[in-house]
Amino acid sequence: METVSENRSHGGTQGVYSHSSGQTGTEMTFSVFVPDHAEGAKLPVLWYLSGLTCTHANVTEKGEYRAACAEHGVIFVAPDTSPRGDDVPDAADEYDFGKGAGFYVDATQQPWSKHYRMRSYIESELSDLIASNFPVDMERQGITGHSMGGHGALTIGLRNADRFTSISAFSPIVAPSQVPWGEKALGRYLGDDRSAWREYDACALIEDSARHPNILVDQGTADNFLEEQLQTHRLAEACNAAGIDATIRMQEGYDHSYYFISTFMAEHVGWHAERLKA
């Protein structure tokens, strides 16, 4: 692991780091905010997964999470959305596929399967790297994300309910098997067998008996992707049918941008912190 930069901020250290990933076969970059803490202390960790076209930098620069993380003593980890590099296959004219659009899956189809292994990268490789290099208590983990990253947070959290105490999301793609963004990505990364898509679809996972006691979702009513791509109502319906007491809030007048995310970020950090300290 190499240090790209480290800066003091809000009573903590904001770092950006890189490493050579065995899962993606590329160099990967991620950011970590570590609040000041007593020597030898282990802190809970909140993972943040970014959305389409983003890198670790979007939330690091615009997410406004550091003051809340310092207040609650929570480490904040923000990985990239996909593998990067000249040798990584891409769809350069398609913002919703390829680089910047890894969808947090382990691709099975060529030419994507060699590098597009973001599920294993997040769930195992980067997790091990964080545990080895930062003062984290891996028994206290939460996960959140935005849009495509909200999809990632929901699916990774639901698949690993014993590991992630809390799950939240901003404007998530809740049923990618049923919307254009998801059908395109899952079909090309995973193939035509839709049964293979279900483990990457939050609503399908819940239908297939995945459960979690702590789910929070915020969705803006003025989000131009809400009706076609996000379809938050599907998650509410799936949770209701399964008896999951999820908190799903429609925030009047908010759009899909970081103006929305930064407005509610501190509340999400505090919500996770309460559950991670319980």
Per-chain mean pLDDT for the chain: 98
Residue 278's pLDDT is 73
Residue 62's pLDDT is 98
For residue 180, CA distances in Å to 87, 183, 227, 230 come to 27, 5, 11, 10
pLDDT at 20 over 80: yes
* C-beta of residue 264 within 8 angstroms of C-beta of residue 169: no
195's CB contacts (< 8 A; 6+ apart) are: none
Number of domains composing the chain: 1
Q: What is the pLDDT of residues 208-253, one digit of tens each?
A: 999 999 999 999 999 999 999 999 999 999 999 999 999 999 999 9
Long-range contacts of 39-42 (CB under 8 A, 24+ apart): 41/135, 42/135, 42/136, 42/137
Segment 50-55 shows an average pLDDT of: 98
* C-beta of residue 176 within 8 angstroms of C-beta of residue 51: no
Please report, as a single letter, which amino acid is at residue 233. Answer: H
Polymer length in residues for the chain: 278
Q: What is the pLDDT of residues 139-170, one digit of tens each?
A: 999 999 999 999 999 999 999 999 999 999 99
pLDDT at 174 over 80: yes
Task: Give CA–CA dist 70/16, Å, rounded.
Answer: 17
What residues make up the domain containing 101? Answer: 2-275
Burial letters 41-77, b for 16+ CB under 10 A, else e: eebbbbbbbbbbebbbebbbeebbbbbbbbebbbbbb
Segment 109-136 shows an average pLDDT of: 98
- CATH number of the domain within which 110 lies: 3.40.50.1820
Classify strands 164-170 and 136-145 as parallel, antiparallel or unpaired: parallel
Please report, as a single letter, which amino acid is at residue 56. Answer: H
List residues with catalytic annotation: 147, 223, 256
pLDDT at 205 over 80: yes
* C-beta of residue 194 within 8 angstroms of C-beta of residue 177: yes
* C-beta of residue 60 within 8 angstroms of C-beta of residue 77: no
Q: What is the pLDDT of residues 184-198, one digit of tens each?
A: 999 999 999 999 999
Q: What is the pLDDT of residues 69-98, one digit of tens each?
A: 999 999 999 999 999 999 999 999 999 999
> Which DSSP string do the residues of 130-171 spell out, in sequence order?
HHHHS-EEEEEEEEEEBTHHHHHHHHHHHHTTTTEEEEEEES
Residues of the chain above pLDDT 90, percent = 99
